[in-house]
Structures are given as structure tokens and as C-alpha cells.
Structure 1
């Protein structure tokens, strides 16, 4: 059942990313969290996100700007090490609280609470008009790279911050997309390398068929999204996705997932 649900969500989410304002990882992570511990869900989402980025890399990577890759991409990769390392360590922290409903015990752990908060924050940021209107100068690119890379390594949320800093860097649409894809792919590769030191022993490698199916579904979704929906902006879809993300995040933070 998880194969069907995850693949359908990967396909739909990949299409939605072209006009919802949310990234594939932001939408897919909560769904993986329904079936796996949150730290494994982050790693699984990262792998699917990475291979989906490789597909996009082949299509638009040649348009990337060298200066953006150096001044934004390099700090992002370095910071992603720190974020991924932090994730590995907070998974070992003791539960914060336990409570019981009927005969079922629910546990609130630091990693669940942190990821839930980040999901809510980034879902809200994607919808706030003022965030999209923020202007950063080129001299702020290294700062943006550090922030984007850190949160990318910690939870996979790198797209919102990356876009906020790059959107006003004087790039053409093609260069902006190409640079974003290349940076995202390198951050994904970096954090997956860190995750693998721990999570391969926790069942990550046992889910390779699921990763492949979800990745193929996401790539197919990206293809159709690029062909059919890249010019569409639906405010209703944005709000609906945000509400669903926030609802799942609350359940995750409360230990219900």
C-alpha cells in the first residue's frame, strides 16, 4: 500500500511543484513520515529528490552561472554537511514527552518536533507575499548559501531560501533555473552521503525498490508538469497544499505519526 501512496504522491507532487510554490521534498517528506521514522523519511525523500534533480540537471544544468555556483553553491554544500550532521545527532536524543490516548502511547521526540516546526515555517513562508518580495543583493549570496544549505541538510528544505536569494541576483529565467538545479543536486548529494553513514544501517538500503518507484514517478510527473502546467498558477492549490502540510506537521510534532 505504501508503494501506491508514495508513488502517486511523488507523481502528483512533482507536477504541483511547477505551480504550487512548494518543492517536491516539502510535499513528499510528510508522506514518507507516515510509513517511516522521520529521520529515515528525510533520507528517502533526499534520494528521490536527488535523482529527480539529476534528470533536471541533464535538461537545464548547462545554463548554470559559474559565479552563483561559487558564491552561493559552495557555502550551501559546506553548510549542508553541518545540517546533515546535526540531524544524525538529534535522532539519538531522548524523547521530550509521552502521553496516552486510549491504549496507544504517543511519543514526542526532538527530531519530530524540529522537523514539524520547519515544515510549518517553510509552508507558511512559501505563502506569505512579503517573503516573496524580499530583496537581497549579490553580496548576500554566501549568507543565503549557508542558510539554504544548512536547512537543506537538516530537513531538506532548501528551495524557499535559495529562491529568495537568487531571484534578485540579476539572472535570466534559464540561468536561475539551471543554477538552482545544480546547487540543489550538489546539496542533495552531500547530505545523502552524510545520511548514509548512519541510515544505511537503519533500513535505508532495504527500501531501494521503493526509492526507484518513487523516483520514476517523480520524473514522469516532472515531465508532464513541465509540458502542461508550468505556466499555471493556482492560488487554491497553494493554500490547499499548505493546509495539508501544516496539518501533517502538527500531527508529527504531537507524536501522532
Structure 2
């Protein structure tokens, strides 16, 4: 019962937030899952909830998507994610730069997460301060944005943060920004599930189908509630929310907390 409550509550809140930001559900849900289940099962279960939620959001917003942007950005992201994953394997044995304990849990500041955190932090600055002049992203740079997003997604699993940071520069309407990000996220999730296929049979995954269904239902509810609220938000409000979430994620990554 504690696992059910914690997982469902996290899925509900994170899904609402990630509707606007394009990232956050996996970042918040995986650590909660890992409290109650082996890490292999936690990763696989989170991936399933994440994919189900993205499909639900796709049903809600697909008609608003800019499919050309999704293709030009998403396909390079898919290809580059494999390179990032390969580099992750190569860097996996690098020792942490620092280790510490927070609230009884050990944490490590790794070179990979420190670099990714700093990069995401830089991306967040234009969204949270008016002192930095916003500039649109030339269409010719879309494939490059996809490559960066996919590469660091494969490297750290945080492709959503880089995707949102790049797509914000296009100046898309808020519904189109969200819908286009969802299309790309579905592509990446499909690839991730192919990679995680071996973990889907891990002990604890098949045995917790009711929890997965409940968590997915709560994630759907969060996305649906977010869609209802979206009409009351301005594009500037969405941009600022994404910027602050990017900055928060950057700090958590750099500190080795997530």
C-alpha cells in the first residue's frame, strides 16, 4: 500500500508538470520506484508508465503538432541517442568527483552528470531572466538540436530537458510546443523500450501490473488536468515554468541527487 500511494501520487503530480516542461516524469518517478523495487524493475516500470503517458498526451494534442519539426528534430535525436549510450558505457568506470550522504542516502557527483547539469543550467537562463535577449532557433539548426538532445539523452537519460530547451527557441505556440515535444518523446520512448526489452521480464515487473495500471491512470489524470489548465496559461508563463524546472534539474544533476 505505501508503494501504491507514493508511486501514484508522484505519477499524478509529475505528469501535470511534465505536460508543460516536456520532462520530469521519469526523473521524479524512477527514484520513487527504486525505493520499493530492484533498480532494473524500477527503470522498466517507469519506462512503461512514461510511454503510456506520452501516448495519452499524443491522443490529446496530436492535431496541434508541427510534424515537420518533429521529424527533422526527432530522427537525429533517435540516432544520436545510441552514440550517447555508447559513451556512457565507456565513461561508466570513471570515479566520482565527490561523494556525500544526504538524509541517510549516499550520493555521488559524477563527471557525466556534472557536465550535463551545467549544460542544462545554461539552457535554462534565457527562460528565467529578461536580461538575456531571446533569439529564435534557425530551422537549419533543428537537426543539430536533435543530435544534442538525443546524444545527451543516451548519455544521461535526460533527453526531455534538452528537447524542451531547443524547441522553446522556435517560438512555437504553446499547444504546438507541447504537442511536438510529445511526438518526439514517443519516438524516443519506443526506442528506449526496445533497449529495455530484456528488463521487462525482470522480477517485480509482471507481478506489479495493478500498480503499473494505477500509476498510468494517475499520470493520465495529471496530463488531462494540465491540458485543462493550459488554456489559462500564457506562452511566457509556460516558458518561465520550463526555465525554472530546467534550472532545478540542472542543480539536482550536478549535485548527484538524481
Change (3 A) 1:31 1:238: farther
The answer to whether the 8 Å contact 1:84/1:194 transfers is no
Q: 1:237 Cα deviation (Å)?
A: 11
TM-score normalised by structure 1 residue count: 0.71
Change (3 A) 1:181 1:33: same
Change (3 A) 1:32 1:67: same
1:13 alignment counterpart: 14
Which structure 2 segments of 5+ residues have no match?
none
TM-score normalised by structure 2 residue count: 0.71
Give deviations 1:5-60, integer Å, cap 9, x for gaps: 11101111222335678532233333334344556544433222211110111122
| Structure 2 residue 170 is the aligned partner of structure 1 residue 169 | yes
| Structure 2 residue 224 is the aligned partner of structure 1 residue 223 | yes
Q: What is the distance in 1 between the residues matched to 2:244 and 2:92?
A: 35
Give deviations 1:38-95, integer Å, cap 9, x for gaps: 56544433222211110111122233333223321111122233445666x4798598
1:184 alignment counterpart: 185
1:142 alignment counterpart: 143
1:78 alignment counterpart: 79
Q: What is the distance in 1 between the residues matched to 2:111 and 2:197?
A: 21
The answer to whether the 8 Å contact 2:127/2:243 transfers is no
Change (3 A) 1:171 1:185: same
Q: 1:130 Cα deviation (Å)?
A: 6.0
Give deviations 1:198-249, integer Å, cap 9, x for gaps: 5634654444333222111111111112213663559899869966995697
1:62 alignment counterpart: 63
Give deviations 1:132-173, integer Å, cap 9, x for gaps: 846421111111111212333444322232223223336444
2:53 alignment counterpart: 52
Q: What is the distance in 2 between the residues matched to 1:204 and 1:90?
A: 28
| Structure 2 residue 28 is the aligned partner of structure 1 residue 27 | yes
The answer to whether the 8 Å contact 2:44/2:200 transfers is yes
The answer to whether the 8 Å contact 1:135/1:165 transfers is no
Q: What is the distance in 1 between the residues matched to 2:33 and 2:27?
A: 11
- What is the SS of the residue equivalent to 1:62? helix
The answer to whether the 8 Å contact 1:18/1:229 transfers is no
Q: What is the distance in 1 between the residues matched to 2:137 and 2:158?
A: 19
Q: What is the distance in 1 between the residues matched to 2:210 and 2:55?
A: 18
| Structure 2 residue 130 is the aligned partner of structure 1 residue 129 | no
Q: What is the distance in 1 between the residues matched to 2:191 and 2:52?
A: 13
Q: What is the distance in 1 between the residues matched to 2:94 and 2:201?
A: 22
Please give the residue correspondences for 1:94-109 in structure 2 after superposition, counting only pairs within 5 Å: none
CA RMSD of aligned residues (A): 4.3
Please give the residue correspondences for 1:242-257 in structure 2 after superposition, counting only pairs within 5 Å: 246=251, 250=255, 252=257
The answer to whether the 8 Å contact 1:15/1:229 transfers is no
